[in-house]
Amino acid sequence: DIVLTQSPALAVSLGQRATISCRASESVRSSMHWYQHKSGQQPKLLMYGASKLASGVPARFSGSGSGTDFTFTIDPVEADDIATYYCQQSRNGYTFGAGTKLVL
Amino acid sequence: QVNLLQSGAALVKPGASVRLSCKASGYTFTDYFLHWVKQSHGKSLEWIGYIHPDSDYTKYNENFKAKATLTVDKSTNTAFMDLNRLTSEDSAIYYCTTRRNYYGGYSLFDDWGQGVMVTVSS
């Protein structure tokens, strides 16, 4: 199975940039997607194909990377962005990272 | 409006089985794969498997082949997941999810049910 490694938490300030990383145990090419998950809600797709915004997602969210190293950025961070963010690969099966919790 | 409505929370005893349901509306149920995802408390998301409602074709995560069985009822646009021989390790939130929109051929999840909590306890 492809393992995705994320940092468990990231402290941010409102109005600043937040950068979340996701490293794959083997190349997933561009088959990396990002979700936002708030407590008590279902996950929400934000980014697909490493760098493409899902419909309706604000442009302050962005993504980059290919192969094994990926980055997801929120700039600027707003209060509503406080959540846990998961990367997910679909190159070989479906696996998720452990999630990065954004904290103020 | 697309909606995946999942059954209510379940409290089940160790060793028992449980059936979870996911009723789809707002789209053609038989056109899209229906997946199930597990989130253990405080942990990440884990893909369980999928079923194609039109053909009943299923694919499972190896870790869930002996645990989960996926079925559908096309007459009611409902997907089911049976979990057997439950242990405390099966206590989790379970989501049904699907991908309806085109995302350049990528396999991902853009519509989710609200999730259902399963608690395994005596």
Q: Is A95 on the interface with B (CB under 8 A)?
A: yes
Cβ contact A49–B43 (<8 Å): no
Report the residue from B44, B109, B112 with minimal CB separation from A99: B44
pLDDT digits (tens, 9 = 90+) for B4-34: 999 988 999 999 999 999 999 999 999 999 9
Q: Which two tokens stand for residue B76?
A: 């009611």
Give the A window 44-73 contacts with B, CB below 8 Å: 44-45, 48-49, 52, 54-55
Tens digit of pLDDT at every position of chain A (104 positions):
999 999 899 999 999 999 999 999 999 999 999 999 999 999 999 999 999 999 999 999 999 999 999 999 999 999 999 999 999 999 999 999 999 999 98
Return the pLDDT at B42: 75
Can you tell me the mean pLDDT for B97-109?
A: 90
What's the CA gap between A38 and A80, in Å, rounded? 10
pLDDT bracket for residue B104 (50, 70, 90): confident
Cβ contact B106–A90 (<8 Å): yes
Residue B20 burial (10 A CB sphere; 0-12, 13-18, 19+): buried
Start-to-end C-alpha separation, chain A: 33
